[in-house]
Structure 1
């Protein structure tokens, strides 16, 4: 199976300058565990629930600390046409649960370990 058949469509993103509080609110509203971080319409990182928890544990002000401060900037992405098995291996190797999905240079969604597990469970 290929990425484009199973990923969660939609631009689940935040701006690099969004506060940790805004990031948490967006994740809650969108029912997601990670957002791609954009700067000048270019993906520069990914911020996850784990990153938000890390920020809070370091006693930062969630209203003034920005997403880019706690985002992971060395990111993996998944691409249309890529086999889901290969994506799952890369996610396990990197120890991540979410990857932004790219179509060309645009972020078009996110694929999660949950999405990949669903494939194995229901097929």
Structure 2
């Protein structure tokens, strides 16, 4: 979950709203295990890793697609369905620019990096909460 922020503006750095504790699963875990991780962490996406390095991302939507098309959550692995073309942003990027990046890339989750290190995850909901927040009057 993103940190509780009293107020953020579209110009603020995305680190202000990112979830720092990113849910991860191993690339060889079953999709049932992935679903259980989503539920346990109350998140909409998990990062798939190998030796601590991010390889891909799996969202609730990915699991629904597998289930709806007759896939078996017990035998299919995270590596079978993960999105490997990760869209990333830097923690200093503005919330507005990250929202634009999401729109342009057609994604709902963006991995936030500090150099080469994954430091957080931002969802479309996190960004929309800031972009649609009514301005605070002085």
Say what the alpha-carbon RMSD is for the aligned residues.
Answer: 1.3
Aligned to 1:70: 81
CA distance in 2, matches of 1:63, 1:103: 35
- The answer for unaligned runs of 5 or more in structure 1 is none
SS at structure 2 position matched to 1:61: coil
CA distance in 1, matches of 2:22, 2:125: 18
CA distance in 1, matches of 2:59, 2:32: 13
- TM-fit CA distance, 1:39: 1.5
- TM-fit CA distance, 1:84: 1.3
For residue 121 of structure 1, the aligned residue among 118, 128, 132 is 132
CA distance in 2, matches of 1:10, 1:79: 16
Aligned to 1:15: 26
Higher helix share: 1
For residue 50 of structure 1, the aligned residue among 58, 61, 69 is 61
For residue 37 of structure 2, the aligned residue among 26, 30, 35 is 26
Moved over 4 A (4+): none
Structure ranking higher on relative contact order (CA contacts 8 Å, 6+ apart): 1
- The answer for unaligned runs of 5 or more in structure 2 is 1-11
- TM-fit CA distance, 1:105: 2.1
Deviations 1:29-80 (A, max 9, x none): 1111111111222111111111111111222221121111111111101211
TM-score where L is the length of structure 1: 0.92
Q: Is the 8 A contact 1:12 1:110 kept in 2?
A: no
CA distance in 2, matches of 1:78, 1:14: 21
SS at structure 2 position matched to 1:35: strand
Between Structure 1 and Structure 2, whose CA radius of gyration is higher? 2
